[in-house]
Structure 1
Amino acid sequence: MISKTTMKNSSFKPLSKTSMVLGMLLVSGYSYAQSINMDFSNEYNATSIHAQGDAYFIDKVKELTDGDIGITLHTGGALGFNSGDHFYAVADGAVDIADTLSGTMSGIDSIFLLSSLPFIVEDIEDARRLYEIAKPYYEEVFEDNDQILLYASPWPPSGIWSKTAIANQSDLENLKIRTFDRNGTETFRNVGASPVSLSWGDVVPQLATGGISAVLTSAEAGANGSFWEHQDHFSAVQYAIPLNMVHMNKAVFDSLSAEQQQALLEAANLTDQHNWAAVEVRTEENYQTLGEHDVAISDPVSADLLNALSEASTSVVENWLENTGDMGQSILTEFRGEQ
């Protein structure tokens, strides 16, 4: 885990507009209880389930503060940040709030690989229980690095997008497949594929140029990226239900009035509930969209394919437990004990 001291010694980044406004208010002697605008970074498209959840949060904040807090959502990486940049950008005040793919923060703490551990959860209900068990640990990491966790933004289950059908293990051999974090890279390397870890913004360009021929992601992400322009098949291997985390600069939060803080937290709680409800029905909507674009959907996939991936993932879970120690073991023991 990176300490506060390490964070403060990181390379300089300019203050956000919000931080500058707060500083002027403090110098001028006014108490902070007036209108403020914040910037919110998200690297995914405006139509994605994550951006829609973030827009819901923004509307709730506006409603609960009578317009005192305005938040501008910047989708598609418009601020120049992708998920891999967000942790430092928020901690340093370069952006106020960010929606970040959890696994991209694994270099900060291995807890962020929990939601993408392969074949740990079976459905959305499982994924939500796992998140609730682990939430205090997530919150602690953010707090130790001058941030707060607002809410989770779950993905629909991850599958494999490909140019040709993936029916068994042999179809994965030497497959140039994009993965989204360390867990996926290790799993697909173990099964004989040639995984390449890429941020979201690099996926479509790599598909277009032939740098990759398959993608580990959800039907949701593929639909938003119009993958049917490059891929004809989606295999629903139910690999994982990874999370995005929405986190906020703590100094900005602390500078809000008590009423504004309470409203922001209430909006976050409402958004958390909204996002988990939304993901329940998203796959069916995505499948309809894929069908309209003649994408062949394999759901369920063959037992041979599932068994090969499950076996390849065993070391991934073991390595995660070794890296997280008692914390990781405690989380999985509690989760499995409730099943």
Structure 2
Amino acid sequence: MKKSLIVLTVLLLALSLALAGCASDGKQAEGEKPADDGQKAKPVEWVANSVWPPNNHQSVALQAFADKVKEATDGQVTLSVKTGGALGYKGPELLKVVRDGLVPVSDMLTSGVAGDEPLFGVVTLPFLVQNHEEAKLLNEIARPYFDKVAEEKWGQKILYVSPWPAAGFWTKNEVKSLADMEGLKMRTYDKNGALVVEAADGTPYPLPFSEVYSSLATGVIDSVLTSTPTAVDAKFWEVLDYYVPVSVTQATDLVTVNLDEFNKLDAETQEKLINAGKEMEAKAWEDVAKLDAEKEALVNEKGITTLKPSQEFLDELSTVTEQIRQDWLKDAPPEAQEIVAKFKEEVGR
């Protein structure tokens, strides 16, 4: 009997201590902040890859994004930007590189990874867009489709999309109509560009960029399909006379993060990262328009005349390249056809 009382006393004492502990745990000490339910992630540092040179506007934008993310997250997330292909990855493989976690964040040419994800090729269909505003509209229409395929198929989240200046014609003679393009010997840099020149009765020359200047100087070619920054880099004013801003295509870059890495962040930090991406994307489209204008003004100052294309000329180019777009769409994902249909409805073409 005495032994039983001792055991009962010990049990009651233990229960009392346990209840006291629970009560203590349930109380918030004076001045103590509410807990974050254990969801607050530890600070992380991600490598952010770019194949472009350090002074390229895409690399500059990526570093600006890194600064924005660090500030927005109070150092919770930092990006260590590596430019110039320093990590050894090639452009076309970057979708797989991020998916496989070989690098957590990367900038990649949208059309450059279209070999792995055909949907991404829709942004560079020739003469689908006719100016910078239309290129921005196409991106806005395509973005939900891109987000879905990136997350569900490729295990990554698109943080922002950054454009390149549009590609136009750089020529020795005036080109104001489709008839003026007949017989042009034009340097091109991809399959679509070559198809465009052929459709306009010219001859495409897929030359390496390093051979462009000498080929112009010696008459091997008499024109080039490219953007304003490239024209400045190559000093086209020394060998060419005219620029026709026809917006053959306007390429974009995707900046993505591995989804597993993104999901390790707490919800608040994720939202801050997404908002930083939205701000960066809006700024990138504004900055590229300014960059394009600045480079065009520079070549004009150096002696190249800009020939603003008439709507009739743009319509001619759109008509003769229609088959190129249709051929691509035949084998493209259904989502691409939806994107193009929505875009055409918006612009009334």
Q: Which position in structure 2 is the counterpart of 1:258? A: 267
Q: Which position in structure 2 is the counterpart of 1:107? A: 115
Kindly provide the CA deviation profile for residues 86-105 of structure 1, in whole angstroms up to 9, marking residues without a partner as x: 22322233333222222222
Distance 1:47 1:93, change over 3 A: same
Give structure 1 stretches of 5+ with no counterpart.
1-30
Matched, 1:295 2:300: no
Aligned-residue CA RMSD (Å)? 3.1
Q: Which SS does the other structure have where 1:72 is aligned?
A: strand
> Which of the residues 190, 194, 211 maps onto 1:185?
194
Distance 1:290 1:82, change over 3 A: farther
Q: Which position in structure 2 is the counterpart of 1:34? A: 43
Q: Is the 8 A contact 2:50 2:106 kept in 1?
A: yes
Between the aligned partners of 1:235 and 1:322, the Cα distance in structure 2 is 30
Matched, 1:239 2:273: no
Q: Which position in structure 2 is the counterpart of 1:175? A: 185
Between the aligned partners of 2:91 and 2:102, the Cα distance in structure 1 is 14
Q: Which SS does the other structure have where 1:100 is aligned?
A: strand
Kindly provide the CA deviation profile for residues 191-236 of structure 1, in whole angstroms up to 9, marking residues without a partner as x: 33443568xxx52x23256398444222134335655566554221
Q: Which position in structure 2 is the counterpart of 1:90? A: 98
Q: Which position in structure 2 is the counterpart of 1:285? A: 294
Distance 1:216 1:86, change over 3 A: farther
- Shift, 1:36, TM fit: 1.4
Kindly provide the CA deviation profile for residues 55-83 of structure 1, in whole angstroms up to 9, marking residues without a partner as x: 32112101112233322333343433443
* TM-score relative to the length of structure 1: 0.76
Between the aligned partners of 1:35 and 1:268, the Cα distance in structure 2 is 17
Q: Which SS does the other structure have where 1:282 is aligned?
A: helix
Q: Is the 8 A contact 1:237 1:300 kept in 2?
A: yes
* TM-score relative to the length of structure 2: 0.74
- Report the count of equivalent residues: 302
Give structure 2 stretches of 5+ with no counterpart.
1-39
Distance 1:313 1:253, change over 3 A: same
Q: Which moved more, 1:220-229 or 1:143-152?
A: 220-229
- Shift, 1:171, TM fit: 4.4
Kindly provide the CA deviation profile for residues 305-337 of structure 1, in whole angstroms up to 9, marking residues without a partner as x: x46533331111111321236423322222222
Kindly provide the CA deviation profile for residues 26-49 of structure 1, in whole angstroms up to 9, marking residues without a partner as x: xxxxx851241423214255242x
Distance 1:307 1:272, change over 3 A: closer
Please show how residues 98-247 of structure 1 align to structure 2 within 5 Å: 98-143=106-151, 144-162=153-171, 166=175, 169=179, 171=181, 173=183, 175-180=185-190, 182-195=191-204, 203=209, 205-208=210-213, 210=215, 213=221, 214-224=223-233, 227-228=236-237, 232-247=241-256
Q: Is the 8 A contact 1:149 1:247 kept in 2?
A: yes
The structure with the largest alpha-carbon Rg is 2
- Shift, 1:164, TM fit: 5.6
Q: Is the 8 A contact 1:179 1:195 kept in 2?
A: no
- Shift, 1:267, TM fit: 1.0
Between the aligned partners of 2:80 and 2:198, the Cα distance in structure 1 is 40
Between the aligned partners of 1:99 and 1:196, the Cα distance in structure 2 is 29
Distance 1:319 1:234, change over 3 A: same
Distance 1:125 1:166, change over 3 A: closer
- The one-letter amino acid of 2:284's match is N
Q: Which moved more, 1:141-150 or 1:120-129?
A: 120-129
Distance 1:209 1:220, change over 3 A: closer
Distance 1:171 1:126, change over 3 A: closer
Between the aligned partners of 1:44 and 1:299, the Cα distance in structure 2 is 31
Q: Is the 8 A contact 1:40 1:71 kept in 2?
A: no
Q: Is the 8 A contact 2:244 2:308 kept in 1?
A: yes
Distance 1:191 1:338, change over 3 A: closer
Distance 1:312 1:101, change over 3 A: farther
Q: Which position in structure 2 is the counterpart of 1:320? A: 328
- The one-letter amino acid of 1:159's match is G
- Shift, 1:153, TM fit: 0.8
Q: Is the 8 A contact 1:160 1:216 kept in 2?
A: yes
- Shift, 1:252, TM fit: 2.5
Q: Is the 8 A contact 2:65 2:280 kept in 1?
A: yes
Between the aligned partners of 2:203 and 2:257, the Cα distance in structure 1 is 36
